A = this chain, B = another copy of it.
Amino acid sequence: MKSDIILLGHGSGGKLSHQLLDDIIIPALSGLAQSEQNDAAILPTPNGRIAFTTDSYVVDPIFFPGGCIGDLAINGTVNDLAMAGAKPVAISVGLILEEGLPVDDLQEILKAMRIAADQAGVAIVTGDTKVVPRGKADKIFINTSGVGVIEHDLTICGSNARVGDQVLINGTVGDHGMAVLASREGLELESDIHSDCAELYSLVEVMLAVGGESIHVLRDPTRGGVATTLKEIALQSEVDLELVETKIPVREDVGSACAILGLDPLFVANEGKLLAIVAEDAADKVLTAMRQHPTGKDAAVIGTVMSTGKGHLTLKTAIGGKRSVEMLAGEQLPRIC
């Protein structure tokens, strides 16, 4: 790693994050190969597979249009389990509170957590609370870890994309990131941009019922956005992917806000979105099923796995050109989740 101190960009989910992970953290802790890195770990037990995942949430501000750090923390971990094709069962909650946090704020956050957990059908079963002095944290940080059960024999992971597969998304991109950014900066965007934060397991359940073994990869494009997530999948699966810009759903107000701020919606974080890499012959029926689900009504096919390769991601642009897409470099939007 080039820097000898931690930079904000190391938390962006992009290139610097991957360097920190690949050069420092993973070699030290687990030695897991990149091809095996997924949103959740799969633990084989004598009697079946369970999925296990963790995420810490440090979003700023803690309340934003469409949600707060509480439902974000529950849905994020529920979704990491869902992306392994696992049914979320139990969640832990680790709170780090800054001295001086209003108890009313804490209660509102906890309430949002409970509602989100109930909606996802998952129980909050264990927890921990720490308090640090004023100025040693920023209001509240939340860690949620989750355990899920895998009730099928499918292999759904980032290294499973195959030539010909279609790339599906369940709706518009960039909503969460722009909602948080607008809220943080006090931008008056004269619009109704709000976070897309939502649980995705119920959608995955429908997709698995219809698509079965045709569902090769599931991943939620959070930090780093759709572009970074697809680049990761392309590298893990050793394939080249092509995205079609005109097919990617973007809300008009989100697109405009991105244009004003010089951001590319492909790199902006999402929270209630998933990317699915699906066998070509099943893509239509999976898409149809997704569109009948509330969190999939704007689902679209946005790209194709073109060939085996070295993980190139290409964007076919609206004006007909093609450009290579790399991972988010540096920090675009820190503390988005």
Contact = CB atoms under 8 A, between A and B. Distances in A.
Contacts of A10: 97, 129, 131
B127 A94 contact: no
B101 A5 contact: yes
Interface string A66-106: 00000000000000000000000110111111111111101
A52 interface: yes
A101 to B, nearest CB: 4
A52 B126 contact: yes
A98 B143 contact: no
A113 B128 CA distance: 20
Nearest to A57: B130
A332 to B, nearest CB: 13
A111 interface: yes
Given A28-B110, A43-B89, A113-B28, A11 B97 contact: yes
A32 to B, nearest CB: 8
Contacts of A195: none
A6 interface: yes
Interface string A104-140: 1011001101100100000111111111110111100
Contact of A129 (B5, B17, B113): B17
A110 B31 CA distance: 12
A30 interface: yes
Contacts of A24: 103, 106-107, 110
Copies in the complex: 2
Contacts of A60: 136
B94 A143 contact: yes
Given A6-B106, A52-B125, A138-B137, A130 B94 contact: no
A193 interface: no
A295 interface: no
A21 interface: yes
A128 B144 CA distance: 11
Contacts of A100: 5-6
Nearest to A125: B41
Interface residues of A, number: 79
Nearest to A47: B47
A286 to B, nearest CB: 27
A154 interface: no
A254 to B, nearest CB: 24
Interface in A290-337: 334-335
Contacts of A25: 95, 110, 127, 129
Interface in A24-71: 24-25, 28-30, 40-41, 43, 45-48, 50, 52-58, 60
Interface of A: 1, 3-12, 17, 20-21, 24-25, 28-30, 40-41, 43, 45-48, 50, 52-58, 60, 89-90, 92-104, 106-107, 110-111, 113-114, 117, 123-133, 135-138, 141, 143, 145, 147, 149, 334-335
15 contacts: A5-B101, A6-B99, A10-B129, A11-B131, A21-B129, A24-B107, A25-B110, A25-B129, A43-B147, A54-B145, A56-B130, A60-B136, A94-B143, A133-B334, A141-B141
Rank and list the top 3 A-B pairs by shortest CB-CB distance, nearest first: A11-B131, A47-B47, A145-B145
